[in-house]
Amino acid sequence: MFKTRITELFNIDYPIIGGAMHLLSRAELVAAISNAGGLGILASTTFENPEDLRKEIQKTRKLTKKPFGVNLNLFPAMRPRPVEKDIDLFIDEGIEIVESSGTSPEPYVPRLKEAGIKLIHKVAGVRYAKTAERIGCDAVSIVGFECGGHPGLDDVTTLILVPETVDAVKIPVCAGGGICDSRSFLAALSLGAEGVVMGTRFVATRECDVHPKIKEWIVNAKDSDTLLIGKPFKLASRVIKNKPALTAQEMEAKGASLEEVLPIISGQLGKKAWETGDVDAGILTLGMAVGRIGKVLTVKEVIDEIINGAKQILERLKRH
């Protein structure tokens, strides 16, 4: 059940992708997602030294025999090294699946294709999904306003973006932004998606290596406990409503420049927050799904609940 072109393309049991999460999508979490039947994606930007990325790929391979992917982060501000260097490394390590995000992967598609790599590009607007199809991506993920990481600048929700994207392209579409359980998974498939991409839900799992206080914060969070920063600088980020986020929001409202806001939103402070559990130490990106997560589970429990719960919903709907 739930076999789609996405499960076929990536040779996975369930159409559930663990979207790359900078600093968090490391070997243990990625392998756990793949072992549970989904597709884990390593976040390559976490590793400033390419040899550390190589080691993490090798470690992941030791922890799972199932397919997994690596993220090619094309947000210029987030790149620790030239894109080509990562692609060399992916090819050298025999990576078979790449999730790209940020600017268009067009310049890199020929090389990835030549190496037999399957490419899923993540976008936050329908027009970018059309570009992904035109330039030869095998699949596309579309993420809505609710998502952790970077939603688009137009504030359009997942419920609207997914069917629009499905109607606009022929390649398989994965839906992201607010998907966290069987109900939202099945809703995404009902909208025409052939898979889902989830980030926030996987942070509150046993295998995610962040401080337990962060997971506790998520369990207690409300749906309104995130906000958007960065829109004036044309890169929106959904982050938790903590002290630095409120300060950044206030500065942006007063017309502060990126240079002025940068010290508050620095990645180093965010890293400290994930590691120490001091939620006010830095900016932490998470999606609105924080309001719908009530328990820290294992990755397998999350994925089993999605699949078994979705089957039960279908049974219930049939009886109506």
| Smallest separation, CB 91 to ligand FMN (Å) | 20
**Lookup result for tokens 């986020």:** 245
Query: Beta-carbon neighbour count of residue 294 at 10 Å?
Result: 11
CB-nearest residue to ligand FMN:
199
Tell me how far apart the alpha carbons of residues 259 and 189 are, in angstroms, rounded to a whole number. 42
| Smallest separation, CB 201 to ligand FMN (Å) | 6
Nearer to ligand FMN, 101 or 165 (CB): 101
Q: Build a one-symbol-per-residue string for 83-112: x at contacts with ligand FMN by CB under 6 A, - elsewhere.
A: ------------------x-----------
Nearer to ligand FMN, 209 or 256 (CB): 209
Q: Are 29 and 299 in contact (CB under 8 A)?
A: yes
DSSP, res 292? G
Taking CB under 6 A as the rule, does residue 215 contact ligand FMN? no
Taking CB under 6 A as the rule, does residue 265 contact ligand FMN? no
**Lookup result for tokens 């997914």:** 162
Taking CB under 6 A as the rule, does residue 188 contact ligand FMN? no
Q: Which amino acid does the sequence have at 179?
A: I
Alpha-helical (H) ranges within 171-298 are 182-190, 200-203, 212-220, 243-253, 258-265, 267-276
Nearer to ligand FMN, 76 or 260 (CB): 76
Tell me how far apart the alpha carbons of residues 284 and 277 are, in angstroms, rounded to a whole number. 11
CA-CA distances (angstroms) from residue 9 to 38, 48, 139, 165? 12, 30, 9, 19
Nearer to ligand FMN, 7 or 100 (CB): 100
Q: Build a one-symbol-per-residue string for 45-84: x at contacts with ligand FMN by CB under 6 A, - elsewhere.
A: x-------------------------x-x-----------
Of 21, 137, 188, 299, the one binding ligand FMN (CB under 6 A) is 21
Detail the DSSP E strand segments found in 157-279: 173-176, 195-198, 226-229, 237-240
Taking CB under 6 A as the rule, does residue 152 contact ligand FMN? no
Q: Which stretch binds ligand FMN (CB under 6 A): 7-15, 146-154, 184-192, 306-314?
A: 146-154
Nearer to ligand FMN, 40 or 199 (CB): 199
CA-CA distances (angstroms) from residue 251 to 230, 245, 274, 284? 11, 10, 24, 18
CA-CA distances (angstroms) from residue 53 to 89, 93, 97, 115, 275? 9, 10, 15, 19, 20
Q: Are 50 and 73 in contact (CB under 8 A)?
A: no
| Smallest separation, CB 17 to ligand FMN (Å) | 8
Interacting residues of 280 by C-beta distance below 8 A, sequence separation 6+: 242, 243, 244, 273
Nearer to ligand FMN, 9 or 288 (CB): 288
Nearer to ligand FMN, 256 or 278 (CB): 278
Of 15, 19, 105, 230, the one binding ligand FMN (CB under 6 A) is 19
Alpha-helical (H) ranges within 36-94 are 50-63, 83-92
Of 14, 22, 35, 87, the one binding ligand FMN (CB under 6 A) is 22
Interface residues with ligand FMN (CB under 6 A)?
A: 19-22, 24, 43, 45, 71, 73, 101, 122, 143, 146-149, 176-179, 197-201, 203, 285-287, 289
